[in-house]
Amino acid sequence: MRLSPKQSTLLVLAVLMIASPFFFPSNYYYRVGSLVFVNSIAVVGIVILTGYAGQISLGHAGFLGIGGYACALLPAHFGLPPALAVVAGAALSGAIAYVVGRPILKLKGYYLAVATLGFGVLVSMVLANEGWLTGGPDGIKVPDPGLRALLEQVGIELTNPQFWYAFCGLVLFIGAWLALNLRESPTGRALRALHGSEVAARTAGIDVAKAKLNAFVISAVYASVAGSLLALQNRLITPDVAGFMHSIELVTMAVLGGAGSVLGGIFGAALLTLLPQVLTVLQDYEHVVLGLVMMLVMIFLPAGLIPSARRLLRGRGE
Amino acid sequence: MSLLQVEGLGISFGGVTAVNDVSFGLETGKIVSVIGPNGAGKTTLFNMISGVYLPKSGRVRLDGEDVTGLRPDLLAVRGMSRTFQNLQIFHEMSVLENVIVGFHMHERGPVLADLFGLPGSRRRARAAAEGARVLLERVGLERAAEREAGALSYGALKRLEIARALAARPRVLLLDEPAAGCNAVETEEIDRLICEVAKTGVAILLVEHDMKLVMRLSDTIVVLDHGEKIAEGDPALVSRDPKVIEAYLGAGTTEALHAHG
């Protein structure tokens, strides 16, 4: 039986998620693993926006901030259970993306980049400056969602890092599945078409503005969920999450791994999350090596790691 | 009233009039060609009819409805489709997918259904893929279906664009130099294809430099010069029109004009 690209991607993902813990020497690695997953969720959103639809956002960390602070503020002020706050935060992020996206998605290329950058800066400024609500630059505490306790009641006992590894892994798996469904669907094809040629996409009857807005809203929801999961497992959220550097990091992860491919995006997220941990042995030279790796990849594998590797393998096979 | 009615269409760029007061009609199943020397305003006229440019004056009516300056995607919904002089291909997609995009209006559905891969979404996608394969066969590209579109030859890409335009099931099809850059064999294939399409009842508006092709295919020829219509009529009439010969065709092309008969 031949696996479709979607099935093989999901299979690779599942195997890596389940097999990795067998090589974890300590609980700390679960923690790093769940960080990889959280970043990957946001990056899969970027893959939809940038890889499929060809639109750039340098402000997506703003949606991580919205999702994260929703988990702190909604339970505190409205008594919403933290798990439901994830959903409410995602809905809020989607709604904000809809309102913000309508005017700014008319912009193209670097104009769009600057406009989204402005949005991200705006969100992180509000989060840092409105101390009465958000706790200011020091951040704010996030309540325990109580999901682990729920599992304990049915006899599944996990340490805290183990639980978050499993939970974030599950969410990422679902997120990847949705993104892969989208890719081969009419909506996803419309996105990839307008990436190739907007004028031809229009001629085929595609409402380009609406299609871009779809991608922007979907990717905002991914980012929001990632932000929520980050806040819930850290039990704390600070405005840094929504910061400019974080937005850049997300885009870099997607581009490095291969923005057009879900697996590529996840691989990029894993690489840029793990590499700094590994490179700490180099101490002062950590950032130099990190920068060097990124430059070399872009020079020699401009399509990103995974798509380039695929092309290489296919070339051998023929 | 014609299916497509162009009435007094005009536009200027930075004070220079590119097209001025051009009118003609196009009936179901007929082929109308627009010819003229380079810079006569043929592609500009095309872009106004297909909603890429907003005309400064005049009207475009499709089946009686005023569609002047309507967005291309809304024109597509009303049954107008086109190809491009400088190819507009989705290079990163497969040949098959390029044509499937043409089916967009027939395969689109709720975004959530697409995200969750619901049976309805998959059914729509499958139907579009089947339709696309039939069209690829019709333009003779069925064997290239799975290849990346960017890898096709120029002539094949021209036919791919026509297949994609046909996928939208247009009533009016605008072809902007479909044979430009094609060799004799490819031109003949495109010639045959255009004839077949017209026979199925599609009204075709053609901009083309290949005079043999134009003379053979057209029911009516509209001649533009410096943005103005200088002649209109059947090929025999136009090729004899002294104004056409004198003002624009020149000696070399006159031979080509008479070559068909």
Instruction: Determine the residue among B88, B161, B172 to mutate to test chain A binding: the one whose Cβ has the most chain A Cβ atoms within 10 Å.
Output: B88
Q: How many CA atoms lie within 13 A of B101 on its CB side?
A: 40
Residue of chain B whose alpha carbon sits nearest to that of A178: B115
Percentage of chain A modeled with pLDDT above 70: 98
Check residue A69 and give its pLDDT: 97
The matching CATH number, chosen from 1.10.3470, 3.40.50, 1.10.510, 1.10.8, for A27-317 is 1.10.3470
State whether B101 and A182 contact (CB < 8 Å): no
Check residue A2 and give its pLDDT: 77
State whether A218 and B111 contact (CB < 8 Å): yes
The verdict on A189 touching B (C-beta cutoff 8 Å) is: yes
Averaged over A13-34, what is the pLDDT? 95
pLDDT of A11 higher than 50: yes
Six-digit token string for A6: 């979607």
State whether A204 and B164 contact (CB < 8 Å): yes
Find the domain containing B27 and state its range. 4-259
Instruction: Spell out which residues of chain B touch residue A185, defining contact as CB-CB under 8 Å.
Output: 114-115, 117, 121-122, 125
Given A192, A202, A218, which is nearest B93 (Cβ)? A192
Q: What is the pLDDT along chain B (261 residues), one digit of tens a residue?
A: 789 999 999 999 988 899 999 999 999 999 999 998 888 889 999 999 999 999 999 999 999 999 998 999 999 999 999 999 889 999 989 999 999 999 999 999 999 999 999 999 999 999 999 999 999 999 999 999 999 999 998 889 999 999 999 999 999 999 999 988 888 888 998 999 999 999 999 999 999 888 889 999 999 999 998 899 999 999 999 988 888 887 665 544 545 555 443
Instruction: Spell out which residues of chain A touch residue B92, defining contact as CB-CB under 8 Å.
Output: 192, 195-196, 260
Helices (H), A197-238: 198-203, 208-234
Six-digit token string for A83: 């798990």
Q: What are the tens digits of pLDDT across the range A130-174?
A: 999 999 999 999 999 888 889 999 888 899 999 999 999 999 999
Instruction: Determine the residue among A44, A189, A214 to mutate to test chain B binding: the one whose Cβ has the most chain B Cβ atoms within 10 Å.
Output: A189
φ, ψ (nearest 5 deg) of residue A233: -80, -30
Check residue B248 and give its pLDDT: 62
Averaged over A106-125, what is the pLDDT? 94
Given A196, A197, A205, which is nearest B73 (Cβ)? A205
CATH number assigned to the domain comprising residue B187 = 3.40.50.300
Number of domains in chain B: 1
- Centre a 10 Å sphere on the Cβ of residue A312 and count the other Cβ atoms it contains: 11
Q: What are the tens digits of pLDDT across the range A76-91?
A: 999 999 999 999 999 9
Residue of chain B whose alpha carbon sits nearest to that of A188: B114
**How far apart, in whole angstroms, are the C-alpha atoms of residue B133 and residue B145?**
8
CB pairs under 8 A between A and B: 107
- Segment 241-300 of chain A within 8 Å of chain B by CB: 260
The verdict on B109 touching A (C-beta cutoff 8 Å) is: yes
Given A187, A193, A208, which is nearest B114 (Cβ)? A187
Sequence ranges of the domains in chain A: 27-317
Check residue A1 and give its pLDDT: 65
**How far apart, in whole angstroms, are the C-alpha atoms of residue B208 and residue B210?**
6
Residue of chain A whose alpha carbon sits nearest to that of B96: A189
Check residue B51 and give its pLDDT: 92
State whether B93 and A193 contact (CB < 8 Å): yes
Whole-number average pLDDT of chain A: 93
Check residue A246 and give its pLDDT: 94
Instruction: Determine the residue among B108, B121, B160 to mutate to test chain A binding: the one whose Cβ has the most chain A Cβ atoms within 10 Å.
Output: B108
Check residue B249 and give its pLDDT: 54
The verdict on B151 touching A (C-beta cutoff 8 Å) is: no
- Segment 201-260 of chain B within 8 Å of chain A by CB: none
Split at pLDDT 50, 70, 90, the class of A318 is very low
Check residue A316 and give its pLDDT: 58
Q: What are the tens digits of pLDDT across the range B186-229?
A: 899 899 999 999 999 999 999 988 888 999 999 999 999 889 99
How would DSSP label each residue in B36-96? -STTSSHHHHHHHHTTSS--SEEEEEETTEE-TT--HHHHHHTTEEE--SS----TTSBHH
Check residue A68 and give its pLDDT: 97
The verdict on B129 touching A (C-beta cutoff 8 Å) is: no
- Centre a 10 Å sphere on the Cβ of residue A174 and count the other Cβ atoms it contains: 12
